[in-house]
Amino acid sequence: MEIQKILVTSKLHHKLKTLIESFDIPKEFRFLPEDQVSKEDYEWADTFVGFRPTPNFEFGNIKWVHSLAAGVDSFMKLDWNKDLLLTRTIDVFGPKMSQYCLSYILQDAQLHEQFSNLQRERKWEFHIPKSLEEQKVVIYGTGEIGGYIGKTLSSLGMKVYGVSMSGEQKPYFEKVVTLHNAHTILDQTDWVIGVLPSTNETQSIINESTFMNLNGVGFINVGRGATVSDVDLLNALQSGNVRKAILDVFSIEPLPTSSELWEMPNVTITPHISAVTLPIDGVKCFVDTLSKLENGEAVKNKVVIDKGY
């Protein structure tokens, strides 16, 4: 693919300009804030780079779109045709999300909250921490990020199972099943981790039918909020099917102040920070993808439009 004119849009366009220019790429660039992009810019460019489409986005002469973020939900709302290429930033989110999930699993296993409460009460009580080797985790989503989380947790001895659209077997997973067969591996599970993208098929896919098969599990969601039924999660937290939830993503963000989740003692809320996309991360992936496309090499970060990821 021959690329000549690249339109980069973001509120961080000045930062992106500095980073991209440091790579000395022999192309024409326009760096603009999202609200200053015009129809003429889209007619000029053959490539669009940004975290999301601009409000007045149009394809114009664009043949390649690169998302500086891992998620491409907003780009899926565009009217794509088979001749257009969409890529996304990869490779940096697996380690970050793995560390996020592991931190809460270890905090729970080592009884941090329990011992902190005892310290405040000046009580010396003997409690044995839980062993990771005795715990089972089910990860919804076994792609790049889910696979990295699976690798991290399995390396520490956890029994890792996976759920995906295809049910394709993957390294580091004891077993992978399809979304429709998830109930077959949910028994005696200690943790469920959601890493699913938001697609038509995954809307509220983690719901009552999932939670009813669980008993006192820890639930972490670092995928997309829309993949979980809010009502069913609340019910599961109240019934004890889910004993605690660590939630980094929500169907509405920021999470409304009226949400019951804010006041639930068994819920930890973080503001979508489990894998923050740094400008340098997106730029490095963009530059690498550009090089591969121009050299006719395969790109592993291509988005399958029909699937949404």
Strand 64-67 and strand 47-50: pairing? parallel
CATH for the 5-91+277-294 domain, from 3.40.1160.10, 3.40.50.720, 1.10.760.10, 2.60.40.10: 3.40.50.720
CB 285 within 8 A of CB 301: yes
Beta strands in 172-299 (DSSP E): 175-178, 191-194, 217-221, 242-247, 267-269
Is residue 171 reached through a cis peptide bond, with omega within 30 degrees of 0 on the bond before it? no
- By residue count, the chain amounts to 309
CATH class of 93-269: alpha beta
Handedness of CA 163, 166, 172, 173 (dihedral sign): positive
> Which residues are CB-neighbours of 161 under 8 A, at least 6 positions away?
136, 137, 138, 139, 173, 174, 175, 176, 177, 185, 189
Report the alpha-carbon distance of residue 282 to residue 194 in Å, rounded.
23
- Give pLDDT, residue 308: 86
Instruction: Return the axis-axis angle of helices 112-120 and 93-109, rounded to nearest 10°.
Output: 50
- Give pLDDT, residue 120: 98
- Give pLDDT, residue 198: 93
Predicted model pTM: 0.92
- Give pLDDT, residue 295: 95
Residue the block writes with tokens 């400008």 = 279
- Give pLDDT, residue 228: 98
**pLDDT truncated to tens, each residue of the chain (309 aa)?**
999 999 999 999 999 999 999 999 999 999 999 999 999 999 999 999 999 999 999 999 999 999 999 889 999 999 999 899 999 999 899 999 999 999 999 999 999 999 999 999 999 999 999 999 999 999 999 999 999 999 999 999 999 999 999 999 999 999 999 999 999 999 999 999 999 999 999 999 999 999 999 999 999 999 999 999 999 999 999 999 999 999 999 999 999 999 999 999 999 999 999 999 899 999 999 999 999 999 999 999 999 998 888
- Give pLDDT, residue 82: 85
- Give pLDDT, residue 277: 87
Count CA atoms closer than 13 A to 55's CA, side-chain side. Answer: 4
Kind and range of the H or E element at 154?
helix 144-155
Which letter does DSSP use for residue 255 in this model? P
Domain ranges of the chain: 5-91+277-294, 93-269
CB 225 within 8 A of CB 211: no
Question: Are 5-91+277-294 and 93-269 the same fold in CATH?
Answer: yes
Classified as helix, coil or strand, 93 is: helix
| Residues annotated as part of the active site | 224, 272
